[in-house]
Amino acid sequence: MKKLLVTGSSGLIGSEVCMHFAHLGWEIHGIDNNQRAVFFGPQGDTRWNQQRLASTLPKFVHHEIDIRDRDALLALVKEIQPDAIVHTAAQPSHDRAAAIPFDDFDTNAVGTLNMLEATRQYATTIPFVHMSTNKVYGDAPNTIPMKELDTRWDYADEAYINGIAENFTIDQSKHSLFGASKVAADVMVQEYGRYFGMPTCCLRGGCLTGPNHSGVELHGFLSYLVKCNLEEKQYTVFGYKGKQVRDNIHSFDVARFIEEFIKAPRFGEVYNIGGGKQNTCSILEAFAITEKFTVKKMVYTYDASNRIGDHICYYSDLTKMKQHYPNWDITKTLEDTISEIVENWKNR
Please tell me the distance from the alpha carbon of residue 333 to that of residue 108, in angstroms, as a whole number.
Answer: 30
- pLDDT tens for each residue of 121-143: 999 999 999 999 999 999 999 99
- Report DSSP state, residue 106: I
Please tell me the distance from the alpha carbon of residue 321 to that of residue 329, in angstroms, as a whole number.
Answer: 9
> What does each of the 348 residues of the chain score in pLDDT, given as a tens digit?
999 999 999 999 999 999 999 999 999 999 999 998 888 888 889 999 999 999 999 999 999 999 999 999 999 999 999 999 999 999 988 889 999 999 999 999 999 999 999 999 999 999 999 999 999 999 999 999 999 999 999 999 999 999 999 999 999 999 999 999 999 999 999 999 999 999 999 999 989 999 988 777 767 789 999 999 999 999 999 999 999 999 999 999 999 999 999 999 999 999 999 999 999 999 999 999 999 999 999 999 999 999 888 899 999 999 999 999 999 999 999 999 999 999 999 987
Backbone CA torsion sign across 334, 339, 342, 345: negative
Backbone CA torsion sign across 166, 336, 17, 109: positive
Backbone CA torsion sign across 23, 26, 32, 36: negative
User: What is this structure's pTM?
Assistant: 0.95
Cβ burial 250-269 (10 Å sphere, 16+ → b, else e):
bbbbbbbbbbebbeebeebb
Please tell me the distance from the alpha carbon of residue 28 to that of residue 45, in angstroms, as a whole number.
Answer: 21
3-state secondary structure of 58: coil
The angle, 0 to 180 degrees and rounded to 10, between the axes of the packed helices 334-347 and 221-231 is 50
